[in-house]
Every structure is written in C-alpha cells, then in structure tokens.
Structure 1
C-alpha cells in the first residue's frame, strides 16, 4: 500500500521513483522493496517531506469501497 501511494504521487507529479530515491539519497530500488516490506520511519518521513504530505497519508487505509 505504501509503495502504491508513492507510485501514485510520482505519476501525479510526473517524476520517477528512481528520481525520488536519488533526490533523497536512498539506495536503488529501496522504494520498490516496500511492496513487500515496511520502510523505517525516518525513510518514510523523508518521502512524506519530499511530497509535502503528512506521514499518516502513507499509513491510513484507503476508505474507498471497491
């Protein structure tokens, strides 16, 4: 879910996940690994600051009914 939200923000802002990783000095494909694992709070906070969203944005469940 965290990865999908980051992917969505990247698409909206027309930047790549690779660019985010580079700008935040994260290792290559570290965000991609968040599909199956959870990031540390400090890394997730960096991403939240980068996109100017609260960290809770990545942690809350989608309320949309499917």
Structure 2
C-alpha cells in the first residue's frame, strides 16, 4: 500500500478527512493524494503523523504492509 493509503486508513479510524488534515496543516490541497505515487518530504510526513497522533515510522510501516 502507499503512504497515502496508510494515512487515509489511519485518518478514517480517527474520523478525519484528508481534506481536513491538509487544511489544518496548511498543506497544498491534494498534496497527500500525490503520496500515492511518491514519497512525501520528511517534515510534511512528520506533521501529518503528529496530527494523527502516530509516528512517521508507524505510517511508513503501515505503507509497507501491502508491499510484502
């Protein structure tokens, strides 16, 4: 699975939309969806992880689960 899918799944469990995350963190609209095909910048990933109450390592580990 991609980083985007991992974030989407975590956000869904916390009842928050990707749009809300982007808006609250002042990220460009749609930037998280681009993480479906590319890796995010470390500071952006950390900001999203902090927002969701997880570590960036947790997000990356979740994204690797589908790659096995």
Q: TM-score range by the shorter chain?
A: 0.7 to 0.9
Deviation >4 Å, runs of 4+ = none
More helix by share: 2
Q: TM-score, normalised by structure 2?
A: 0.84
Q: Which has the higher contact order (CA 8 A, sep 6+)?
A: 2
Map of 1:49 onto structure 2: 50
| In the alignment, structure 1 residue 62 sits paired with structure 2 residue 47 | no
Match of 1:2 in 2: 3
Count of residue pairs the alignment pairs up: 64
> TM-score if structure 1 supplies the norm length?
0.87
* 8 A Cα contact 2:14 2:52, kept in partner: no
Gaps of 5+ in 1: none
Q: Does 1:24 pair with 2:25?
A: yes
